[in-house]
Amino acid sequence: MKLELDISGSPPRAGISNGNEAEVKPKKRICCACPNTKKLRDECIVEHGEDACTKWIDAHLRCLRAEGFKV
Cα 8 from chain centre: 28
**5-63 tens-digit pLDDT:** 444 444 444 444 455 545 668 888 999 999 999 999 999 999 999 999 999 999 999 99
Binding residue per annotation — 53? no
Binding residue per annotation — 32? yes
Q: What is the pTM of this model?
A: 0.65
Taking a C-beta distance cutoff of 8 angstroms, is the pair 71, 65 a contact? yes
Cα 60 from chain centre: 11
